[in-house]
Amino acid sequence: RKEVEQDPGPFNVPEGATVAFNCTYSNSASQSFFWYRQDCRKEPKLLMSVYSSGNEDGRFTAQLNRASQYISLLIRDSKLSDSATYLCVVNRGGSYIPTFGRGTSLIVHP
Amino acid sequence: GAVVSQHPSWVICKSGTSVKIECRSLDFQATTMFWYRQFPKQSLMLMATSNEGSKATYEQGVEKDKFLINHASLTLSTLTVTSAHPEDSSFYICSAPRIREEQYFGPGTRLTVT
């Protein structure tokens, strides 16, 4: 089993739609979780950290389910500019070492 | 603004030569930096952890004699691809953890070996 698994998609949605991505992780000792966004041929940029209590930033909501070992990202009212690859990142238990999922591709169309 | 820089942003070299890539943290000290490689349409693959003042820690399957890492100071780590071959052509990215363990990424270096 891979350390971090994501559905690669692509998720093809119309503008204004709500879309959700899930990511599962295998190391139960992991404590830090993040969602990054990567545009084509660019470096990843932090979208949001994922806290135990869940967190929201505008149209984006991230949640953590430790019992089932998954994190989720919900995007509401999708914009064309949301089209990108969304990377799930889980730090290895007790360390700063990040482990990346393969990314989920989102395409928002008019 | 950018907090991690990389140089060069792209490089073309001949097979058999060596290429050095620099990664700098711009306004913070980084005792640890990470190096990744990304092939087209694939995710980032962690190659090694660069530790200031000590040897780098390489991921399984990454040849330490081919990918030389030197963390010369608290703001600089270098990756040297030695005796490069066409299959080494890739996008190389570095990152440094800052606050809350979030990674800040350099803009990446696109290496093409001919």
- Note the pLDDT of residue B1: 63
Inspect the interface and report whether the beta carbons of B93 and A45 lie closer than 8 Å.
no
- Note the pLDDT of residue A97: 87
Q: What is the mean pLDDT of residues B103-109?
A: 92
A2 in B contact zone (CB under 8 Å):
no
Higher pLDDT, B27 or B65: B65
Burial (CB < 10 A; 0-12, 13-18, 19+), residue B22, is: middle
Least confident span in A28-32, A94-98, B97-101, B107-111 = B97-101
B32 in A contact zone (CB under 8 Å):
yes
> Which of B84, B39, B44, B36 is closest to B62 using CA atoms?
B36
Inspect the interface and report whether the beta carbons of A34 and B32 lie closer than 8 Å.
no
Q: How many CA atoms lie within 13 A of A61 on its CB side?
A: 9
